[in-house]
Amino acid sequence: MYIHVVQKGEVLWKIADYYNVNIQDIITLNGIPDPGLLLPGQALLIPTQENTYTVGQGDTIWQIAQNYGVRVQDLLWENRILDPNLIYPGYVLTIPQKDKPEIEVNAFTYFLATEAVPIVREAGDYLTYLSPFAYLINEDGSLVSIDDEPAIAEAFAEGVVPMMAIVNFTINVEGENLANKVLNNPETVNILQENILNTMRDKGYQGLNIDFEYVLPEDREAYNSFLASTVEKLHNEGYFVSTSLAPKISGEQVGLLYEAHDYPAHGELADFVVLMTYEWGWRGGQPRAISPINEIEKVLDYAVSVIPRDKILMGFQIYARDWQIPFQQGQEAETISVQEAMNIAYEHMVEIKYDYLSQSPYFNYTDEEGNAHVVWFEDARSAQAKFDAVKDYGLRGVSYWGLGYEFPQNFPLLADNFQIEKL
C-alpha cells in the first residue's frame, strides 16, 4: 500500500494512471462515493502492484519510506543510494519487501444480537479476539446478561476467539460505588467468579476481559486481590484473563480513573492488558484528536517500563467526533464513523487538514443553520502512525474500540503492516 495525499486540482483518474492501478480499486479501498469527489488533503490508500515507485516532484526519501512503511536505511540500501538528497523526479526506486511482524488483534463491539453477525463476518480475517461489550456486574455478584450468542457463533465461524467482557459501570450505574461493594466482600467475589465461569462455559467464551473503571483509590489492593484470585480460578479451568487499563503516564498519576489501576500488578497477573489509549477528545470535552499519537506515546513509555511488552495491546479507536464550535461547557459532540465523517466532508467540499503533532486529520464546515463545526477523525496516515507505534514499542498487538464503525482503509492497512495471529 502507498498513502497518497490529494493535492488541490488532482483528479482520481490521473492518480490511478500515475500509480498504474485500477481506478475502481482505489474507490473501493477508500470508500469513495463518487469518482468525481476528491478533497484537498485527503489521504488515499493506493494498492500498488509492483515493488517500485517513481519519484515525483517534491518527494523525499523519508516521505517515501514512511508512506511504504519501510525503514529509510533499507530503502537506501536496496537502491544503492549513497546520498538521500540525490533523487529526482522520474527516478524509479525499488521498494524493499517488508517483514510483517505477527500481532494479536482484539475488537470490542456493542453491536449485539443478529446485528453483530455481518460486522463480525466482515472483520473476521483481521481479528484474533472478539469481545461483545459487556456484562455488567451487580452488587450481589450476579451478571446482567447480553444477547451475545450470534456474535460468538460468528466469531467461531471466522476463527476468532470470543473473549467475555465484564464492567462495573453503565451510563446509569456509578462504577466506583459498585466496585467498592463487590471487591471488599469475599462472599460476593466468590459468587461473581462462579457466575463468570458459568457464563463462559455456557456461551463458549475462551477468556475474560475485566474492565473495571472509576475504582476508588482506596480499593486498589482489593482490585488487585480480586484479579489474582480470578486469574487463578480461570487458569485452573483453562481460560485466559486480560484487563483494560486507563491511559496512565506514571505510577503516581492522580484521579479517580487512574489510581486504582496498578500497572505493575496487572502486568504480572494478567495474561495481557488492553491500554485504553483513546478518548482524549471525548464527547463532553473540548474538540481535539481522539487518540493523538503524542499522548499515546507518553502512555506507552510508562507502560513498557512496568509491563512486559508482549503483554500489551494498544487501544485504537475507529470512530470520529463532530463538535459544534465555539465549544460550550455541557455541549456534547456527536460520535460518528470515519466514513460518515468523510461523507460530511464530501457534502461540504472542504479541505482535509492534518495535525502532525497528534498525527490526526480534521476539517471544518458550516451546517445548514450556519453553525460552525470541527470534525476530528482517522485516516490512513493516522492509522499508519499507530501501527508504527506498535512496531516501534514491540507490543503484543492492537485492540479496537469499537467494531461496527465504518472505516474502509483500516483493515487493509492493518493487513499490509502485520500478520494477524489466529489462535
Question: 259 or 88, which is more confident?
Answer: 259
Asked if residues 316 and 277 have their Cβ atoms less than 8 Å apart, the reply is yes
Q: Which helix (H) or strand (E) holds 120?
A: helix 116-123
Domain(s) labelled CATH 3.10.350.10 in the chain stretch across 2-94
Rounded mean pLDDT, 378-400: 97
> How far apart, in whole angstroms, are the C-alpha atoms of residue 229 and residue 150?
30
pLDDT reading at 171 higher than 80: no
Q: Is the pTM of this model over 0.85?
A: yes
Q: CA–CA separation, 344 vs 326, rounded Å? A: 19
Active site residues: 213
Q: What is the predicted pLDDT for the residue at 253? A: 96
Question: 251 or 50: which carries more pLDDT confidence?
Answer: 251
Write out pLDDT tens, residues 123-139: 999 999 999 999 999 99
Residue 50's pLDDT is what? 60
Show the cell assigned to 276.
485504553
Which residue intervals of the chain bear CATH 3.20.20.80? 104-314+396-420
Q: Distance between CA 192 and CA 243 in Å, rounded?
A: 16
Cβ proximity of 317 and 290 under 8 Å: yes
Which one, of 251, 325, 295, 252, lies nearest residue 386 by Cα? Answer: 295
348 phi and psi, to 5 degrees? -100, 0
Q: What is the pLDDT of residue 49?
A: 64
- At 224 the three-state DSSP class reads helix
Residue 96 phi/psi, 5-degree rounding, is -65, 145
The pLDDT tens digits for 89-126 are 988 888 887 678 999 999 999 999 999 999 999 999 99
| Nearest alpha carbon to residue 99 among 348, 326, 416 | 416
129-132 vs 102-109, strand pairing mode: parallel
Residues in the chain: 423
- What grid cell was written down for 344? 460530511
**pLDDT tier at 84 (50, 70, 90 boundaries)?**
confident
pLDDT digits (tens, 9 = 90+) for 183-237: 999 999 999 999 999 999 999 999 999 999 999 999 999 999 999 999 999 999 9
Classify domain 2-94 at the CATH topology level. Membrane-bound Lytic Murein Transglycosylase D; Chain A (3.10.350)
User: What's the rounded Cα separation, in Å, for the pair 381 and 44?
Assistant: 9
In sequence order, the 6+-apart residues with CB closer than 8 A to the CB of 370 are none
More confident residue, 79 or 102: 102
Q: With bands split at pLDDT 50, 70 and 90, how would you rate the model's confidence at 169?
A: confident
Class of domain 104-314+396-420: alpha beta
